[in-house]
């Protein structure tokens, strides 16, 4: 059955194209950011009509795939442009309304005695930096605006990899090959180029992905990257023990159990994801070897030989790398169920988590 006329598996392309004008009109009529976000999610979001149509392309004959893919991409970029246009219009309107109505009486007395403090992300980030620094790791920063070489090529991520598409990566308009880094793994490459082997480093910082904002995903989030390389053999046992020690430190427990599951990252061989045992108590998650459940925490693996080659590290190097989402482990530790809370400015919430003094 042809995708073009296939009504059984969602909205067919013909109907998508016919709907474009209507969608554009609706978008240009959106009067709030929420309405705009909802339209974006419904049309080009993760489960949006257009995204679902893209997924159907895999069942289409090869020669049709190119033609239909191009048509769908045209619709998608028209929708993206219209959303951006309306977003700008709403933003301009909001600013001018605010300026019209805003008056500030600086003679009013201060109503409370709360002063700013460190956000829990900053607190966690500093604690983790201190932990690794005390254990002899270099704590390194890397640029958030990266090149395709450091974010993808040097990490052995091939040109056709889906993560490279603009659906996942924010590219910088007018700056060919420049992007907002999607992972802190690029700092591994910079570090090996600069310091060579042996090397023990971590890097913690902001990363960006074109992900729809929801309870567990944010377009900007933080990652922790670790790398240990040496000329002497290093094996998966070292990796497991390193992760266990870190989890015991971060979750303030003296018994964490780590388990590996095979997974694929182009820059590791073998690659794996790691889980940790836990139990739930009073709505909070307690990491413990006695736990009856497993929670997934991040990705890891032995450094792929191509990565060593791409960094100019000679033969005979061994090493492991790991990566975790900092926001996610903070959420687990404090029982926070929505990542958006981390980026809100609700004073009551911030005070509860010890962020305001």
Q: Which residues bind ligand FA5 (CB under 6 A)?
A: 183, 185, 209, 211, 217-218, 221, 223, 225, 265, 268, 298-301, 321-325, 327-328
Say how many C-beta atoms besides its own lie within 10 A of residue 253's C-beta.
16
Residue 140 beta carbon to ligand FA5: minimum distance, rounded to whole angstroms: 14
State the Cα–Cα distance between residues 279 and 147, nearest whole angstrom.
42
Residue whose structure tokens are 């693996």: 301
Q: Are 275 and 296 in contact (CB under 8 A)?
A: yes
Q: Which residues, other chains included, contact 127 with Cβ-Cβ below 8 Å and sequence gap of 6+?
A: 250
- Look at residues 131, 120, 6 and name the one whose alpha carbon lies nearest to residue 58: 6
Cβ distance to ligand FA5 smaller for residue 53 or 154:
154
Residue 89 beta carbon to ligand FA5: minimum distance, rounded to whole angstroms: 27
Residue 311 beta carbon to ligand FA5: minimum distance, rounded to whole angstroms: 14
Residue 214 beta carbon to ligand FA5: minimum distance, rounded to whole angstroms: 9
Cβ distance to ligand FA5 smaller for residue 35 or 148:
148
Residue 202 beta carbon to ligand FA5: minimum distance, rounded to whole angstroms: 11
Q: Which helix or strand (DSSP H or E) is residue 318 part of? A: strand 318-325
Cβ distance to ligand FA5 smaller for residue 118 or 213:
213
Residue 15 beta carbon to ligand FA5: minimum distance, rounded to whole angstroms: 31
DSSP type of residue 110: P
Q: Which helix or strand (DSSP H or E) is residue 270 part of? A: strand 268-281
Cβ distance to ligand FA5 smaller for residue 44 or 72:
44
Where do runs of H (alpha helix) occur along 270-337? 305-310, 326-334
Residue whose structure tokens are 């944010």: 218
Residue 177 beta carbon to ligand FA5: minimum distance, rounded to whole angstroms: 20
Cβ distance to ligand FA5 smaller for residue 12 or 301:
301
Q: Which residues, other chains included, contact 323 with Cβ-Cβ below 8 Å and sequence gap of 6+?
A: 183, 184, 185, 223, 224, 225, 226, 298, 299, 300
Q: Which two tokens stand for residue 268?
A: 């590791």
Cβ distance to ligand FA5 smaller for residue 4 or 343:
343
Residue 97 beta carbon to ligand FA5: minimum distance, rounded to whole angstroms: 32
Cβ distance to ligand FA5 smaller for residue 74 or 261:
261
How wide is the angle at C-alpha 83 spanned by C-alphas 101 and 54, nearest 5°?
155
Give residue number: closest CB to ligand FA5. Answer: 325
Q: DSSP string covering 174-218, please? A: TSTTEEE-S-THHHHHHHHHHH-SSEEEEEEEEEE--PPP-SS--
Cβ distance to ligand FA5 smaller for residue 86 or 182:
182
Cβ distance to ligand FA5 smaller for residue 12 or 319:
319
Where do runs of H (alpha helix) occur along the chain? 13-28, 33-44, 49-56, 62-101, 120-134, 148-151, 185-195, 236-250, 305-310, 326-334, 347-352
Residue 227 beta carbon to ligand FA5: minimum distance, rounded to whole angstroms: 8
């Amino acid at each position: 059955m042809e995708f073009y006329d296939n009504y059984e598996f969602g909205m067919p392309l013909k109907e998508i194209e016919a709907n474009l004008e209507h969608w554009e009109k609706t978008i240009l009529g959106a009067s709030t950011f929420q309405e705009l976000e909802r339209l974006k999610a419904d049309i080009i979001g993760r489960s949006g009509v257009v995204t679902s149509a893209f997924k159907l392309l895999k069942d289409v004959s090869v020669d049709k795939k190119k033609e239909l893919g191009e048509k769908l991409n045209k619709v998608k970029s028209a929708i993206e442009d219209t959303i951006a246009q309306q977003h700008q219009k709403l933003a301009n309107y909001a600013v001018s309304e605010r300026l019209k109505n805003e008056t500030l009486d600086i003679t009013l007395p201060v109503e409370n005695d709360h002063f700013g403090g460190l956000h829990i992300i900053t607190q966690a980030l500093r604690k983790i930096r201190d932990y690794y620094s005390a254990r002899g790791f270099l704590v390194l920063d890397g640029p958030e605006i990266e090149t395709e070489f450091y974010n993808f090529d040097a990490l052995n991520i091939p040109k056709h990899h889906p993560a490279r598409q603009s659906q996942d990566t924010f590219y910088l308009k007018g700056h060919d090959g420049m992007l907002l880094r999607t992972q802190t793994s690029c700092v591994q490459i910079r570090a090996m180029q600069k310091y060579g082997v042996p090397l023990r480093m971590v890097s913690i910082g902001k990363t960006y992905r074109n992900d729809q904002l929801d309870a567990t995903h944010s377009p900007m989030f933080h990652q922790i990257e670790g790398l240990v390389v040496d000329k002497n053999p290093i094996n998966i046992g070292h990796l497991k023990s390193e992760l266990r020690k870190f989890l015991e430190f971060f979750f303030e427990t003296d018994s964490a159990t780590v388990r590996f599951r095979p997974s694929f990252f182009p820059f590791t061989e073998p690659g794996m994801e790691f889980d940790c045992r836990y139990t739930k108590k009073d709505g909070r998650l307690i990491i413990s070897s006695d736990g009856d459940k497993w929670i997934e925490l991040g990705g890891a693996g032995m450094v792929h030989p191509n990565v060593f080659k791409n960094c100019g590290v000679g033969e005979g190097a061994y090493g492991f790398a790991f990566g975790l989402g900092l926001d996610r482990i903070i959420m687990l530790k404090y029982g926070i169920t929505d990542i958006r809370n981390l980026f809100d400015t609700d004073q009551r919430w911030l005070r509860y988590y010890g962020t305001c003094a």
